[in-house]
Amino acid sequence: MIATLTGKVAAVGGESCVIDVNGVGFSVLMPLPALEALSRETAPVTIHTHFHLREDGASLFGFLTPEDKAIFGKIIGVSGIGPKTALAILSHLSGDEFREAIGHEDHRVLTGVPGVGLKTAQRLILELKGKLEKTAAGGVRDAKGPSGHIGVMSDAVEALIALGYPQKEAAAAVEAVYKADSGLTTPEIVRLALRNLGRK
């Protein structure tokens, strides 16, 4: 089981990237916001991975935070939903947005994801409602309860650390972005923080 990969981003294209780990290139399928963030990285990064084995082959899925990896695992645990649909969901919705849509039974938000119809949205809500609260460690546990701004900020900091930034620098960049606009999602905070860090 490959749990994480640490290496340099060798290529980014389509729905995947190649992570070079000591001369070995791993092809990793990732959500689009994560790929966008990685496309600008030259320093070594750490990717949290899920190895998916099926009859016709195997695929490696990657995420910038343990929380997104945990949510991906929850989604593919829903009957009839495969990893490509799960990846599409996390490409169009942040972890917080998905959790909120499930908690509020918001079919409109879920069916806005390409490939997710009404029946799939209903199945997601039925099987996942009450099972997507964040833990302090950034994962997901089976319990009800809202996730606050602390979770959003910690996810953004984890993503920047995965991209190679020191914890102190990442935390300061995230805090600055959040102070300017507290209504941003994790991917939006990461995007703006990267932009600010790039100016230094």
Residue 171 is part of a domain; what is its CATH number?
1.10.8.10
User: 89 vs 162, which has greater pLDDT?
Assistant: 89
Residues sharing a CB contact under 8 Å with residue 67, sequence separation 6 or more, in sequence order: 95, 134, 138, 139, 140, 151, 155, 158
30 found inside a domain:
yes
24 found inside a domain:
yes
Structure tokens at 137: 């460690």
- Identify whether the C-beta of residue 108 lies closer than 8 Å to the C-beta of residue 115: no
**pLDDT of 4 above 60:** yes
**pLDDT of 84 above 70:** yes
- Please tell me whether residues 71 and 127 are part of one structural domain: yes
- Please tell me whether residues 59 and 74 are part of one structural domain: no
Span 104-131, average pLDDT: 94
Helices (H), the chain: 32-38, 66-76, 83-92, 95-103, 107-111, 118-128, 149-162, 167-180, 186-198
Which of 64-68, 111-115, 148-152 shows the lowest mean pLDDT across its residues? 148-152
- Identify whether the C-beta of residue 159 lies closer than 8 Å to the C-beta of residue 186: yes
Task: Give the per-residue pLDDT at 143.
Answer: 37
- Identify whether the C-beta of residue 176 lies closer than 8 Å to the C-beta of residue 200: no
- Please tell me whether residues 72 and 45 are part of one structural domain: no
- Identify whether the C-beta of residue 134 lies closer than 8 Å to the C-beta of residue 151: yes
27 found inside a domain:
yes
Structure tokens at 185: 């999602």
Task: Give the per-residue pLDDT at 126.
Answer: 94
75 found inside a domain:
yes
- Please tell me whether residues 14 and 53 are part of one structural domain: yes
Last residue of a domain, one of 84, 106, 132: 132
Last residue of a domain, one of 63, 81, 113: 63
Which of 50-64, 78-92, 182-196 has the highest average model confidence (pLDDT)? 78-92
Q: What is the CATH number of the domain that holds 84?
A: 1.10.150.20
Span 144-168, average pLDDT: 70
- Please tell me whether residues 55 and 73 are part of one structural domain: no
- Please tell me whether residues 73 and 59 are part of one structural domain: no
Average per-residue pLDDT for the chain = 86
Q: How many CB atoms lie within 10 A of CB 38?
A: 21
Q: What is the CATH number of the domain that holds 38?
A: 2.40.50.140
Q: What's 135's DSSP letter?
A: P
* Number of compact structural domains in the chain: 3
Q: What is the pLDDT of residues 6-58, one digit of tens each?
A: 999 999 999 999 999 999 999 999 999 999 999 888 888 999 999 988 777 88
Please name which of 58, 69, 78 lies closest in space to residue 30, comparing C-alpha atoms: 69
Owning domain of residue 123: 67-132
**pLDDT of 141 above 60:** no
Q: What is the pLDDT of residues 159-173, one digit of tens each?
A: 888 888 888 888 889
